[in-house]
Amino acid sequence: MKNLKSTLAIAALAILAVACGPKGQTVETSEAKEVASVNDATAVAVNTANSVITWIGSKPAGKHNGTIAITAGEILTNDSEIVGGSFTIDINSLVVLDLPAESEYNGKLKGHLMSPDFFDAANFPTAAFEVTAVAPFNAAEVEADKEQYETEYKPSALSEIMVSNPTHFISGNLTMRGTTKNITFPAHVSIVDGKIVAKANFNIDRTEWGLMYGNEASIADKAKDSFVYDTVNVGFALEAGTQSATE
């Protein structure tokens, strides 16, 4: 796709900073950016049945992974280019996939993630993403991975998880737990016969949104292996143009 001309937006998820693109292990974050108005655009409904967010959280003793549902959204297009978009994420739809669904440990982990230690879902049941810019992907703008505290289960580096053949850097305002930050991440975007598919996989620093439980703040915690890595892997597969806005 062509380089978009002004401050733009695409529906995508979940989550990094502006500037030159993603840097190191996690994407940088910045303050929320203004979303430019888009004229003469066509709204294309996100197919929520075929769209999903994935997550992986890590600690020295192991990792957990799962999904979160996208419940609504739209992508704005103009002349076969993406020029805007947004979507809503249902925090309470979080699913833990690495533990048996009916197990006690699955229920305990989800309950902890929904608690004020993490998402505080009772007070902040939804998250949202609204795109502020789209630019062509440039591999030269992806810097080397930073070092992580070494354990068997340290988070994967950005270079290890980044989507294959990225086409764009996508920037947008991610609102989670009452905090809005602007993030930028590499994504692969295609539009074929009106069907829009966007995929991305990247890392964020959860503490930027106030998810502080067991964070890596002190060397003492690291020595005890009792912390939870600040780095969280976030991925999404987003599809639009295959259902109407009323479905």
Total domains present in the chain: 1
User: Is 210 a domain residue?
Assistant: yes
Please report the pLDDT score of residue 127 as a whole number: 97
CATH of the domain at 68: 2.40.128.110
H or E stretch covering 223: helix 219-223
pLDDT per residue over 116-138, tens digit each? 999 999 999 999 999 988 888 99
pLDDT per residue over 49-74, tens digit each? 999 999 999 999 899 999 999 999 99
pLDDT tops 70 at residue 34: yes
pLDDT per residue over 141-193, tens digit each? 886 787 888 899 999 998 899 999 999 888 899 999 999 999 999 999 998 88
User: Is 66 a domain residue?
Assistant: yes
Question: Which of these, 107, 91, 92, 77, lies nearest to 9 by C-alpha position?
Answer: 77
pTM: 0.83
pLDDT tops 90 at residue 103: yes
* CA–CA gap between residue 198 and residue 187 (Å, rounded): 7
Which position has the higher pLDDT, 34 or 36?
34
Please report the pLDDT score of residue 20 as a whole number: 34
User: Is 34 a domain residue?
Assistant: yes
Sequence-separated (6 or more) residues with CB below 8 Å from residue 140: none
